[in-house]
Amino acid sequence: MSSTLIRNGRVITASDDYVADVLMRDGVVRAIGTALEVGPDVKVVDATDLYVLPGGVDTHVHMENVIGPTITCDTFASGTKAAAFGGTTTVVDFALQTAQDSVLGAIARAQRSAEPQVNIDYSLHCIVTRVDAQVLADTRHAMRHEGVTSFKMFMAYPGVMMADDAAIFQMLRQVGADGGMVALHAENGTVIDLLIKEALEAGHTSPRYHAMTRPAIMEGEATHRGIRLAELANAPIYFVHVSSNQALKHIVAARDEGIPVFAETCPHYLLFDDSVYSSDDFEIAKYVMTPPLRTPDDQKHLWRALRYDDLQVIATDHCPFCMKEGHLGYRLQKQRGKDDFSLIPNGAPGIETRLASLFDIGVMQGKLSLNRFVELTSTTPAKLFGLFPKKGTIAVGSDADVVLFDPAATQTIRAKDLHSNCDYTLLEGRTLRGKVEKVFLRGELIVDGPDWHGREGMGRFVPRGEVRAF
């Protein structure tokens, strides 16, 4: 296998910041030092004035996820290519247990789709929608033998994805005891469904009512309930897509009590606020994601929590649906909800812009240190989901997943330049400071400026281990 030396870059991990050379051989980092001497067989890449970052780890993405009659519009191929261009080298997607499917069947099905397509390394959480003795046995098997150590459950979407409190408690108890993690979508689904029904009966059909029927207080209530279930189960818990201070205040209180509660937020909650929901225009369907965007005051609390470690991860919840019906042949996308906001598929794209947007609004605006930026986007997600230290850092023996990032470059984001199948980006026209220049996956150059050198199928499934968070 080829060897590459990254010469004279500024290596930034969650804990370090120094100028050095990084030698990559046989897919892993072999040496880090100054003025490393190498033979003529080693390719040398000059990284002077560039940051050398561990490849991003995005633990919340949806590729080819079937959601009701709809499917997210990125394939494993397009979504992982977009991730790579954005500096992400590992994603954790979802296998969905359906009424007909077992946990193990769902994992095998997702792997069959992903394997020939993935351009970067990947793993899977399994979404569990019902719990019985077989599901618990399969869950244990998946953890021990399939490398799937996290399970997502929903407190929202009654009749579709929602699991009741007893089911969530059973999973927390077993998965926690076995060293894994339950990730929870925390919103009070039955109350929200009532609010949606009442809004539609009152003739409120436009997209902004999506936000008005999913109030933050119902995210807070479910978060509190999830914490108490985890406390009783003596298990760690991870809250996905935390958007509001209503949720955050329970997370902060629980962590202060010593309960192992972890949580992510997503770039869109930091970049945009609920002022976008101010008209009945259907364009607002772009911002129909769950939970919806919150107030500037919520944003202030999210930043505080990111800074002081009450939020540990920034993942994208990349859940793309096209605005234009039929784009690339995708049907039943956002336009499905033209006359009824509750039919708009919930989600927005973001996988390619995560690092650059957070560098711009976080690091450049003085809200996050460089080390914290790496910790939130790579190291801690790797630790929480059993990928560390193979992923999430630059260290001797770790996978040579490396991003060369130019802090002095700027870029203006346009959907047409991105690599997702989605026909829009929430950042259209926005100029960001900072740019991914080169990306190495296990030592292989896959992104070089605008050029693509990756191959579908070169990504590998990464079996995950236990939670390493406390």
74 or 406: CB nearest Zn ion: 74
13 or 346: CB nearest ligand DUC: 346
Rule CB under 6 A: say whether 241 interacts with ligand DUC. yes
Helix (H, G, I), strand (E, B) or coil at 249: helix
Give the span between the Cα atoms of 23 and 29, in whole angstroms: 6
Rule CB under 6 A: say whether 184 interacts with ligand DUC. no
How far from chain centre, in Å, is Cα 119?
Answer: 17
Site for ligand DUC in 26-85 (CB under 6 A): none
Q: Which residues contact 93 (CB under 8 A, 6 or more apart)?
A: 61, 62, 63, 65, 76, 110, 114, 122, 123, 124, 125
List 56, 207, 347, 381, residue binding ligand DUC (CB under 6 A): 347
Rule CB under 6 A: say whether 319 interacts with ligand DUC. yes
The partner in contact with residue 346, picked from ligand DUC, Zn ion, none with C-beta cut-offs of 5 to 8 angstroms by kind, is ligand DUC
How far from chain centre, in Å, is Cα 59?
Answer: 4
From residue 274 to residue 293, the character string flagging contacts with ligand DUC as x (rule: CB under 6 A) and all else as - is ----------------x---
13 or 150: CB nearest Zn ion: 150
Does residue 336 contact residue 344 with C-beta atoms inside 8 Å? yes
- Per DSSP bridges, beta strands 70-71 and 88-96 are unpaired
User: CB atoms < 10 A from the CB of 457, how many?
Assistant: 14
Contacts with ligand DUC: how many residues (CB under 6 A)? 8
Helix (H, G, I), strand (E, B) or coil at 394: coil
Rule CB under 6 A: say whether 97 interacts with ligand DUC. no
Helix (H, G, I), strand (E, B) or coil at 277: helix
53 or 186: CB nearest ligand DUC: 186
Does residue 276 contact residue 211 with C-beta atoms inside 8 Å? no
Site for Zn ion in 180-219 (CB under 5 A): 185
Rule CB under 5 A: say whether 317 interacts with Zn ion. yes
Minimum distance from CB of 241 to ligand DUC (Å)? 6
Through-space distance between the first and last CA atoms of the chain, rounded to whole angstroms: 37
The residue nearest ligand DUC at its CB is: 290
DSSP string, 86-121: TTEEEEEEEEE--TT--HHHHHHHHHHHHTTT-SSE
The token pair at 304 is 């505080």
Minimum distance from CB of 439 to ligand DUC (Å)? 25
Rule CB under 6 A: say whether 361 interacts with ligand DUC. no
Question: What residue ranges bind Zn ion (CB under 5 A)?
Answer: 185, 317
Question: What residue ranges bind ligand DUC (CB under 6 A)?
Answer: 185, 240-241, 290, 317, 319, 346-347
